[in-house]
Structure 1
């Protein structure tokens, strides 16, 4: 009876692994890619034939992780390890030279793969929405390569331009990572497909109206915006941004900070008005207690509160 139970448990574990085993899939892909080496034609042939044996439908995300970063990505953007060493291949975008000829060669690997297995197209879009959030965990050179490949993938229709909107995330904008990545995409896109193609796509995707949101909050002014894009030769993006602002009624934001005992001594509220990213005026208002105040207990048992509200209105 005990022997039977052991066999049954082992069988259940085996079945569970068969249901979902990304590391097993990874190992099989890495084996084939390492045999192909830097021969991208051999890489494409392997990926084409492996799809009939390996479950791309189930492990599409893992497959794209490997082709882009070299291994399975964990939250934060690092490669999953086995022991003390990351388990990865050099046959990936991040290990390729960053010149555009090399980028185009890798572009063909993805085009051939998704042409052969059409169901991977939607999975690739989802993968890009995930991997762009991880750019803080990548090196500067890896971000440049990814930005250039992203431009190629957008311009050839593999992914829609609006995937770039996932970069509007505080942990990416505050360190200028989102803006630098966006500008690298634009520079490559303009060089590869021309200005008209890029401008049309930005308008259709809705990115044109959110360009300022890629700028760090503490630098979100018209002067800083213009300086950043003009420095990269993207004067037309500045013009697009200005035209977008001119076609809309002005929008003014009010940011209200409530200060507890560690702020102003009179428990006042600081209200700042912003227009086009620039502070126009600031007032200190008497504190009025409300049921929405957020209280926190400090280490000494004292209480303090601090909350921020953002209001927007048209004028």
Structure 2
């Protein structure tokens, strides 16, 4: 026995005993080593995340549309019973809803993959054709409220890229947007719609004005002017409606002429009243200032 010279005897000191125990542990085989009962040796595990595959998700959603021949009630039921990962591919889902398939990153151009002909862009530019899609999305959002952020993302991207759409496609988006607010689509924030429209290049090209005009006309079919003004206030654009006009047409006269021709006389009257009240307020402020400064009576009358 290799440890026999180190066997303990009754007269061994504590230091000698510790030394012998250390040597014994070094020469033990792995099977003879003591273990603590019930103790698990923990090993570090890596977090393994499945790679993103928006193409497969898109194809699966498209197939649901095709299997149900575009019947949105049946599509909604099939999506509800599916095991698709909407938390990871929410943006892709709404790309399929709006355009019929997945779009290339950062654009509105179709990407490779399956497509369906029942999208918002493919339907007629009429409220009766687009309203079912609004109701369908409302149903989806009630079941999966977290998708509202994805809807915002996709709408913001599309609105910032309006120049990539055809005229009739922009009109469909405007009608959809108006109906979304009219139907109170799960708290869609107005700033999500209005702020992207104020991009200088879109306004300068005259793309925004027809869009916002179609939006106003469609929204006012079912809602009052006060409702429209409330949305504009929430979107923080009520006082900046002229910003939707190209700079060369950014006048009160051009505003009145355009919306009168479009049949939105109540909006024209509202704007003219707002301008009058603004000028009246400025006049009162100027008079108050002159009186407090004890200005000459003739000067006050001239003001």
- TM-score, normalised to structure 1, is 0.67
Of 186, 204, 211, the residue aligned with 1:174 is 204
Of 120, 123, 132, the residue aligned with 1:93 is 120
Q: How many residues align?
A: 230
Pairing 1:158-197 to 2, within 5 Å after superposition: 158=185, 159-162=188-191, 163-197=193-227
Q: Once the 2 structures are TM-superposed, how far is the Cα of residue 79 of structure 1 from its aligned partner? A: 1.4
- TM-score, normalised to structure 2, is 0.70
Give the structure with the larger helix fraction. Answer: 2
Pairing 1:98-247 to 2, within 5 Å after superposition: 98-158=125-185, 159-162=188-191, 163-247=193-277
Give the structure with the larger strand fraction. Answer: 1
Pairing 1:28-43 to 2, within 5 Å after superposition: 28-43=60-75
In the alignment, what sits opposite 1:310? none
Pairing 1:212-291 to 2, within 5 Å after superposition: 212-248=242-278
Measured against aligned partners, the alpha-carbon deviations of 1:207-235 in whole angstroms (never above 9, x if no partner) come to 21111111112222222222211111112
Q: Once the 2 structures are TM-superposed, how far is the Cα of residue 92 of structure 1 from its aligned partner? A: 1.1
Tell me which structure has the larger Cα radius of gyration: 2
In the alignment, what sits opposite 1:268? none
Answer whether contact 2:175 2:214 (CA < 8 A) is retained: yes
Gaps of 5+ in 1: 1-14, 251-315
Answer whether contact 1:208 1:241 (CA < 8 A) is retained: no
Answer whether contact 1:154 1:160 (CA < 8 A) is retained: no
In the TM superposition, structure 1's runs of 4+ consecutive aligned residues that sit over 4 Å from their partners are 246-250
- Quickly say closer, same or farther: Cα 1:204–1:27, change in 2 above 3 A: closer
Measured against aligned partners, the alpha-carbon deviations of 1:286-315 in whole angstroms (never above 9, x if no partner) come to xxxxxxxxxxxxxxxxxxxxxxxxxxxxxx
Q: 2:88 matched to 1:58? A: yes
- Quickly say closer, same or farther: Cα 1:231–1:195, change in 2 above 3 A: same
